[in-house]
Amino acid sequence: MLNLCKIHKEDRLMAYKNLEACIRDLEATQQLIRVEVPVNANLELAEIHRRVNQAKGPALFFNNITQCKFPVATNIYGTNSRVEYLFRDIIATFEKLSRLRADPSALMSTPAMALSLIPRLYRTWPSYDRWNQDILRQQCKVSELPQIKSWPDDGGSFITLPQVISFPPNSQKLSEANIGMYRIQMSGNDYLSDQELGLHYQIHRGIGIHHQAYNATDQEFKISIAVGGPPSHALASIFPLPEGMSEVLFTGLLGNRSYHYCRNDGYFIPTDVDFCITGIVRKNQLKKEGPFGDHLGYYSLKHDFPVLAIKRVFHKKNAIWHATVVGRPPQEDSAFGHIIHLLTRQLAAQEFPGVKSIHAVDEAGVHPLLLAIGSERYMPFRDRKPEEILTQAFHILGKGQTSLSKYLLIAADGFDELPQITNTSDFFSYILERIDWKNDLHFITKTTIDTLDYSGEGLNAGSKLIWACNRNPLRNLQSEYQLPPISEISKVKLVQKGILALQIDPFKADHEEQFKIAKLCERLEKCDLTGFPLLIFTDDAAFCAQNFSNFLWTTFTRSNPSTDIYGIKPFIHQKHWGCEGSLIIDARKKPHHAPELITDPAVDKKVDDLMFHHPELKKYLP
């Protein structure tokens, strides 16, 4: 009894030793339910997860996966409040660390704060595990793992919360390890069963740098893929760390305990995880990976990606498979964004001088839309206009994860009261009241965008657009509109003050499309749209205007700035594009866009019946 109490106390202090300890704590605090009835990993599990997640329900422990001996845990990070609970201890510590990084002199002014961090830093130092190597004592095949397929047109089953660990050539230094979360295809396509896995990693990722370095050598590119372990392991693998910071050490810091590891046959093995797949990345071989229902709300399609030749699949005794389901946001991974924002909010000014705050808009798929608040610290005697915030915007688009952003809306602080950056609707209103479309748009063309964004000219290819706002109010936004009948417009809906959704004919990929849009813009010149600076061309105006989330999703996931931005009375002056009237974004579906995610009606019906007969799941029926 004493030993159990000790374990439970450790769990409540957030120093989770493993995934089992986390699950035990969530269950003890009524934040998890066990699903004992048989559930198929093919589509059924994902549909149950989505329904519970959308209702902001508890974590799920599936104890009876058909044709699989391993249980599955999902929705562990399913709500903002739960992820704050899991990392409750580190939030306060991060505030102290941020203060010390921003102002090292605080060591002298508040020595007690600095001294309080020493025990944490000591106990979170990485530890080589000589004796506790339980994970190496059991092995299985990939086909024996839970074969979770989330969406009907997925190319197979996928690992959705992997921790992919790689080192550069000639190095086993922990400080040089890269731990990243890159999805792994386990079955389907041309992958040889139990012999190969598909590795999907995007541009700007650390593993890509390692892969390139190995291509110049004759060494084998060995990697490890861990699944499970304490919650900190998964979070650390997606955390936007500054270059040079050890991801192994950071994982321990997040988890409030040492990162334990060992080595086997030249592979790095975390000993606190539940599973670890080892293998060799084939240097000069690519195979089709995908499709996969992804976090923008669309399928990412088949593309060539590296192949892993599987060596071994290790697992601990009583291993738990940790998984999630992604799709149109918000989903479980939205809570990752929330906790990352909490932990890094004080670091923005250090990473980006002059920038007060940054907010990646989850409803728009994160990378398509980024909001920022900057500052104009120079030339106070000049008229208000964007100057320094432009340099800050280019800095944001040139560094790390924020470089994948497609639309960046930045406003200057210090002149009038700005809304909270996380209040996206009010932030848009603030900008639309002040922005000058003649001067404040700045395009970056022929550049890279997120791999998962199919709005551009090809894989990773597209454009970016900065809206820079530092002006006194230029207009009053309106909600009452009177548009004369225009044959090309079948429906008009108000999104919110200042924004109209205009339903027009579906996009046609022919040479006449640009001519038709130009003519429609000319007709709109004759309308009084003074209080509506932003117009959206859409296939479904009612859906776009139903709520602000729909507006954000359709507008910013379905448009490429250089090809889909129009305007009333447009002009080009010295290669600068602007417009005298309203800005127009063509957010219609295009032939090159990926299909959106739709569930299987037959699976929906089966899950309806399953949840109806499960007392704790019944409340989450739609």
126-135, 171-180, 355-364: segment of lowest average pLDDT? 126-135
Q: Which pLDDT value is given to residue 343?
A: 79
Residue 112 pLDDT > 60: no
User: CA 596, 602, 604, 607: dihedral to nearest 10 degrees?
Assistant: -140
Q: Report residue 203's pLDDT band, with 50, 70 and 90 as the boundaries.
A: low
From the CB of residue 575, how many other CB atoms can be counted at a distance below 10 Å?
6
- The H or E element that residue 248 is part of is helix 247-255
Q: Is the pLDDT of residue 94 over 90?
A: no
With 0-12 / 13-18 / 19 or more C-beta atoms within 10 angstroms meaning exposed / middle / buried, residue 384 is middle
pLDDT at 164 over 80: yes
Res 15 pLDDT > 90: no
CA–CA distances in Å: residue 42 to residues 152, 355, 610: 9, 45, 15
| Nearest-5° Cα angle at 44, 42 to 50 | 120
User: Element (H or E) spanning 273, and its range?
Assistant: none
Query: Across residues 564-580, what is the average pLDDT?
Result: 96
Dihedrals φ, ψ of 17, to 5°? -75, -30
Per-residue tokens: 405: 């952003």
Which strand ranges, in their side-by-side order, compose the sheet holding 59-62?
A: 32-35, 59-62, 72-74, 321-322
Q: Which of 398-402, 406-410, 423-427 is least confident?
A: 398-402
DSSP 3-state of 390: helix
3 state DSSP class of 261: strand
| Tokens representing residue 366 in the block | 């994160």
Confidence of residue 114 (pLDDT cuts 50, 70, 90): very low
Q: What is the pLDDT of residue 111?
A: 52
Residue 507 is classified by DSSP as P
CA–CA separation, 254 vs 91, rounded Å?
A: 9
Measured CA to CA, the distance from residue 477 to residue 468 in angstroms comes to: 18
Q: Using one digit for the tens of pLDDT, what is the confidence trace for 488-533?
A: 999 999 999 999 999 999 999 888 888 899 999 999 999 999 999 9
Q: Hey, how many other C-beta atoms are within 10 angstroms of the C-beta on 622? A: 9
193-197, 206-210, 290-294: which range is least confident on average? Answer: 206-210
- Residue 481 burial (C-beta neighbours within 10 Å; 0-12, 13-18, 19+): middle
Torsions phi, psi for 447 (to 5 deg) = -130, -175
Is the pLDDT at 608 greater than 60? The verdict is yes
Looking at 8-12, 305-309, 373-377, which range is the least confident one? 8-12
- Its sign, for the CA torsion 67, 68, 69, 73, is negative
Write the pLDDT tens digit of every residue in 313-369.
Answer: 999 999 999 999 999 999 999 998 888 888 777 666 667 888 999 999 999 998 899
In the Cβ-directed half-sphere of 200, how many Cα atoms lie within 13 Å?
23
Lowest pLDDT segment from 145-149, 164-168, 301-305, 507-511: 507-511
> Helix 88-102 crosses helix 247-255 at what angle (to 10 degrees)?
130
Q: What is the pLDDT of residue 382?
A: 72
CB atoms within 10 A of CB 237: 21
Nearest to 85 by CA among 418, 309, 342: 342
Which conformational region is residue 213 in: left (phi greater than 0), alpha (psi within -120 to 50 degrees), or beta?
alpha
pLDDT of residue 240: 76
Residue-wise pLDDT for 587-597, tens only, equals: 999 999 999 99
SS3 at position 542:
helix
Is the separation of the CB atoms in 464 and 447 below 8 Å?
yes
pLDDT value, residue 212: 87
How far apart, in whole angstroms, are the C-alpha atoms of residue 134 and residue 119? 28
Q: What is the mean pLDDT of residues 457-467?
A: 90
Q: Are 291 and 302 in contact (CB under 8 A)?
A: yes
Say if residues 351 and 342 touch (Cβ distance below 8 Å): no
Q: End-to-end distance of the chain based on CA atoms, in angstroms? A: 42
Q: Which residues contact 4 (CB under 8 A, 6 or more apart)?
A: none
Rounded to whole angstroms, how far apart are CA atoms 146 and 154? 15
Closest CA to 35 of 73, 5, 78, 3: 73
Give the integer Cα–Cα distance in Å for 359 and 338.
10
The mean pLDDT value for 284-303 works out to: 94
Q: What is the pLDDT of residue 121?
A: 58
Contacts 24+ apart (CB under 8 A), 411-415: 411/372, 411/373, 411/374, 411/469, 411/470, 412/373, 412/374, 412/375, 412/376, 412/384, 412/386, 412/388, 412/469, 412/470, 413/356, 413/373, 413/374, 413/375, 414/375, 414/376, 415/376, 415/384, 415/470, 415/472
Task: Indicate the burial class of 117 (C-beta count within 10 angstroms; 0-12, 13-18, 19 or more).
Answer: middle
Tell me the pLDDT band of 415, cut-offs 50, 70 and 90: confident
Average pLDDT score, the chain = 89
Percent of the chain with pLDDT over 70: 90
Q: How far is CA 291 from CA 184, 301, 462, 554, in A?
A: 12, 4, 21, 21
Going by C-alpha positions, the residue among 194, 139, 187 that lies closest to residue 42 is 187
Can you give the pLDDT at residue 156? 97
Question: Across the beta sheet with 565-567, what order do the strands follow?
Answer: 489-496, 499-504, 534-538, 583-586, 565-567
